[in-house]
């Protein structure tokens, strides 16, 4: 206890990195020692509470920054590769429709499903007003889907798989 007090007193008065403020840990420990009045259990509990508070604050800041970074990365990927959720959904629907054409493979059926396999990348930009609304909407939807990250989607898939077998 005496060594802790000597350390806290010595370091609380130091200037950290020449920036003009005292060491926050030493300052916190020093105030805990004064409040505890020599009781080691009170100091131990105070240190634990302080540490938990610091970790909660750090975790909150980390989540906020990671959310911003995830949105930024998702936005870059979506715009660089032109990944559009609406176009992907339309392509999947069209592939199902093409499979329903079956052996007929009529010209009308094939024409209806032309361009199926171009779900990402930059092709000819459609010039109609509906596309001008749907393309940015598809991009925004894709950014929203990419932002939570792989852990989120793996957890959702495992829940879905567990949901089907739990009955």
- Whole-angstrom distance, CA of residue 83 vs CA of residue 103: 31
Task: For residue range 85-140, list pLDDT tens digits in order.
Answer: 888 887 777 776 667 666 555 666 655 555 444 555 555 555 666 677 788 888 89
- Say which residue the tokens 């998702």 belong to: 74
CA distances from 104 to 97, 100, 109, 142 (A): 12, 9, 8, 35
Task: For residue range 50-93, list pLDDT tens digits in order.
Answer: 899 999 999 999 888 888 888 899 899 888 988 888 888 877 77
Task: For residue range 2-28, list pLDDT tens digits in order.
Answer: 777 776 777 666 665 566 667 777 778
pLDDT at residue 57 in the model: 92
* 15, β-bridge pairs: 22
Which of 145, 95, 99 lies closest to 116, judged by CA? 95
Could you tell me the pTM of the whole model?
0.52
Phi and psi torsions of 37, nearest 5°: 55, 45
């Amino acid at each position: 206890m005496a060594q802790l007090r000597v350390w806290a007193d010595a370091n609380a008065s130091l200037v950290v990195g020449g920036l003009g403020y005292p060491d926050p840990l030493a300052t916190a420990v020093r105030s805990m020692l004064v409040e505890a009045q020599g009781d080691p259990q009170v100091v131990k509990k105070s240190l634990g509470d302080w540490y938990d508070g610091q970790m909660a604050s750090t975790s909150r800041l980390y989540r906020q920054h990671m959310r911003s970074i995830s949105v930024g990365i998702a936005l870059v990927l979506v715009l660089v590769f032109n990944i559009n959720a609406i176009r992907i959904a339309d392509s999947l629907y069209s592939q199902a429709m093409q499979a329903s054409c079956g052996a007929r493979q009529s010209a009308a059926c094939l024409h209806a499903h032309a361009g199926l396999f171009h779900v990402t990348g930059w092709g000819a930009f459609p010039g109609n007003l509906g596309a001008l609304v749907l393309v940015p909407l598809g991009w925004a939807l894709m950014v929203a889907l990419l932002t939570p990250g792989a852990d989120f989607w793996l957890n959702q898939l495992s829940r879905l798989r567990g949901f089907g077998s739990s009955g």
